[in-house]
Amino acid sequence: MKNFNQTQTSRRQFLIKTVPACALVCLGSSGLPGVKHLSAQQEGKHKFDKPHEFVSTHRQVQRRVKQEKIQLIKTLIKELGERRTIEILKIDTREAALAQGRRHAQSAKRAGKKIDFDTYVSAHRDPKAGEYTLTKEIIEDSEKAFELKVTECLYAETYIKAGLGGEVGYAALCYMDYFWPKGFNENIEMVRDKTLMQGHDCCNHRYIWTG
């Protein structure tokens, strides 16, 4: 899943704005199903510059967004083995998440917000955050703890259907959840003992303020 170079102010923007934006880059043209071309609006424009509209479900978009990474992971497993691939994916996921957390903090500063626990979890409070990729429920929301229960995750579903569930999908995706908050503020810790990716009934993300 990316677009990580875009400086968005919250995970909400990442989940519901950045990912669809990436989809527009990753999707192909006339050969892909679900693509509806608009009639040319201006004569003389090159065909590559003429507008078109993508008509796809969120599942289709997510599958296409992840297609290249999924293929890369499968190649790594074939060449290096699953164990080494998991190690590499965790390194990459950790560094990407820390960087994204730092960008999240920088965006919050520019918006005049504090780099604290409340600012971080505020994105998770918004029911529209991940509206089309997650089914979630807030279990606890207190001064120093915030717990989110996720019962459906389109990201996990995409990896599982591609045959990359379990520890591989966890390393490629779920592992980032520990490091994004650390990149935002070192006093925020995420603990969890269940994920949909690993075959559990939910993901029980619990964020704790240790400062």
**128-177 pLDDT, tens digit each:** 888 889 999 999 999 999 999 999 999 999 999 999 999 999 999 999 99
Give pLDDT tens digits for 83-96.
999 999 999 999 99
The total domain count for the chain is: 1
183: enclosing H helix or E strand: helix 180-184
Q: How far apart are CA 184 and CA 101, in angstroms?
A: 4
pTM above 0.85, yes or no: no
Look at residue 122 and tell me if it is in a domain.
yes
Q: What is the pLDDT of residue 201?
A: 97
Domain that holds residue 114: 68-209
Question: What CATH code is carried by the domain that includes residue 202?
Answer: 3.30.1380
Look at residue 54 and tell me if it is in a domain.
no
Q: How far apart are CA 50 and CA 108, in angstroms?
A: 37
Q: Find the DSSP H helices in 14-172.
A: 19-26, 58-80, 82-110, 117-125, 154-161, 166-172
Give pLDDT tens digits for 171-205.
999 999 999 999 999 999 999 999 999 999 999 99
Look at residue 12 and tell me if it is in a domain.
no
The answer to whether residue 56 scores a pLDDT higher than 90 is no
Look at residue 39 and tell me if it is in a domain.
no
Q: Are strands 52-54 and 35-37 parallel, antiparallel or unpaired?
A: antiparallel
Look at residue 58 and tell me if it is in a domain.
no
Look at residue 192 and tell me if it is in a domain.
yes
Look at residue 56 and tell me if it is in a domain.
no
DSSP for 83-123 reads HHHHHHHHHHHHHHHHHHHHHHHHHHHHTT--SSHHHHHHH
Query: Residue 6: pLDDT band by 50, 70, 90 thresholds?
Result: very low
Q: What is the pLDDT of residue 152?
A: 96
Look at residue 31 and tell me if it is in a domain.
no
Could you tell me the CA-to-CA distances from 5 to 29, 73, 110, 175, 194 in Å, in that order?
A: 25, 22, 16, 19, 30
Give pLDDT tens digits for 35-52.
444 444 456 778 777 776
Q: What is the pLDDT of residue 71?
A: 95
In this prediction, residues 64-78 reach a mean pLDDT of 93
